[in-house]
Each structure stands twice: as C-alpha cells, then as structure tokens.
Amino acid sequence: MWVSFQYNALAFVIIFGIGIPAGVWSALRRGTWLDPATIGVLLFFPSVPVVITVPVFQWLFALKLDWLPAGGWEVREYFGFLEVGLFSKRIILPILILSLPGIAGVARYMRAQVLEVLDQDFIRTARAKGLREFIVVTRHVVRNALLPIATIMGFALVGLLGGSIFVETLLGIPGIGSYAFEAVGSRDYDGIMALVIITAAAFIVANLLVDIAYGLIDPRIRLGGRTQT
C-alpha cells in the first residue's frame, strides 16, 4: 500500500495542479479556437486504454529513447524499515500513465463549472465595480467553481490507497493493485476482505474531508447555521 501511495500521491498533485488551471484557462477563452483545441488535445490520452498506453510508453521512453526504465520498482530503505521510490526514475513512467488521462477529466469538469459561474449575477456586479479581471477570476470565479471539484478530489484521495491493477501488473510494481489482482486470482479471502474494509474506511474519511473542505471554500456553508438579524 505504501508503494501505491507514493506514485499515486504525485499523480494526484499533477492531475489537479494542471487540470484545474487548464480548465479555467479554457473556459476564459470560450468562443475562440483555443477552447476546443485545448480540451481536444487533453481528451486524446483518456481515449487510449491503459493496456495500450503502457507498452507504447515502454517502447518509446525505454527502448527507443532510453530515458526511463521499462518497469519495476526501486526499493530504498531509510531508518531500516521505510521503502521509498520517490527519487527513482522508475516512478516517472507510472506517473505519466496515470496523470495524462486524469488531467483531461479534471480540466473538462472545471471548465464546465467556471462557465456556469461566469454567467452568475455576482460576477457581472464584480466587473461593474471595476475590479481587475485577475481579482474577479481568482477570488470569485475559481473559488465558487472549486466547490464541486472538492467532491472529486475527496474521492480521488481513496485512489491513493487503491493503486492501479493494470499499471502495477504491466510495469511490475509491487503495489496494492497487483496484490489485489493476485489475491482474487488465488482466492485469498482474508486479503480481499482486508482490502474491502480499508477501502470502505478510506471512503468515510474522504467524505469527512470533503465536508470540511466545503466550509473552507464557501463561507456560506460554514455560516449556514447562524441566524441573521
């Protein structure tokens, strides 16, 4: 599980760190060719199945260019017990395979939310007051559009522990995804039950974090229980 968490955590940061700004950028250029071009390029990666992406990336980056290892996982021990592969080149390939499709989904969803917020009356009021466009976008548009994105981020946190069966199996990564595949194939019922319990607990924690994030993003939710006089 720790192995899966390492590369999934970096992929999580890349997906939302690039997907959210890309969605905002695309929405602000609605009506120009840059809007469909950006989303169209990003949609190319999730349209290709992982079972095809993995061997293509291995052929390109490992065999032809010789930039990255073809698979495996480098184990480094710190303090005698901790396995760390964050600083190895072997983590780059699974991060690329997981991040590129995920960026498109976040960008599309963020674009839709930003377009919905841009049509609200308070955005026209903010612009009518003479606020700079940067202030309008960052303080009013993005903040209100992030509320539904918080739900996606919460459930994506569960994926940090789940791993990817295809990626780990094809790349030879000893993570929780490959363990789950072996547990199902060998009928390891104890391992399967443990995975189910851990995943259910992770969903509960993710829902709690999402509710807390709602209050931080939107003050109206945090102050909703108070009576105005």
CATH of the domain at 118: 1.10.3720.10
Give pLDDT, residue 162.
63
Indicate whether 227 belongs to any domain. Answer: no
DSSP H/E element including 223: none
Q: How far apart are CA 84 and CA 68, in angstroms?
A: 18
- pLDDT on residue 221: 67
Task: Report the alpha-carbon distance of residue 77 to residue 64 in Å, rounded.
Answer: 31
- Amino acid in the structure at residue 56: V
Q: What's this model's pTM, rounded to 2 decimal places?
A: 0.80
H or E segment and range at residue 63: none
Residue-level pLDDT at 150: 80
Q: Is residue 24 part of a domain?
A: yes
**Number of structural domains found in the chain:** 1
Residue 194: inside a domain: yes
Name the nearest CA neighbour of 113 among 148, 85, 88.
Answer: 148
Residue 228 included in any domain = no
Strand 76-78 to strand 82-84: parallel, antiparallel, or no bridges (unpaired)?
Answer: antiparallel
**Residue 79 covered by a domain:** yes
Burial group, residue 97, by CB count within 10 angstroms (0-12, 13-18, 19+)? buried
Dihedral sign for Cα atoms in the order 39, 44, 47, 50: negative
Residue type present at position 36: P
State the pLDDT at residue 229: 41
pLDDT tens track, the chain, 229 positions: 778 888 888 888 898 899 899 989 988 888 888 888 888 888 888 888 888 888 888 898 888 888 888 877 776 665 544 555 667 788 888 888 888 888 888 888 899 888 888 888 888 888 888 888 888 888 888 888 887 788 788 777 777 666 677 888 888 888 888 888 888 888 888 888 988 898 888 888 888 888 887 777 766 666 665 544 4
Do the beta carbons of residue 189 and residue 181 sit within 8 Å? no
Q: Is residue 200 included in any domain, yes or no?
A: yes
* DSSP per position, 147-212: HHHHHHHHHHHHHHHH--HHHHHHHT--SHHHHHHHHHHTT-HHHHHHHHHHHHHHHHHHHHHHHH
Structure tokens at 170: 């094809």
Residue 47 is encoded by which pair of tokens? 């349209």
Residue 16 within a domain: yes
Asked if the structure places residue 94 within a domain, the reply is: yes
List the beta bridge partners of residue 192.
Answer: none
Dist. CA 18–CA 101, nearest whole Å = 12
Predicted local confidence at residue 81, as pLDDT: 47
Distances (CA, A) of 180 to 85, 108, 123: 21, 31, 48
Residues in the chain, total = 229
Enclosing domain of residue 42: 2-222
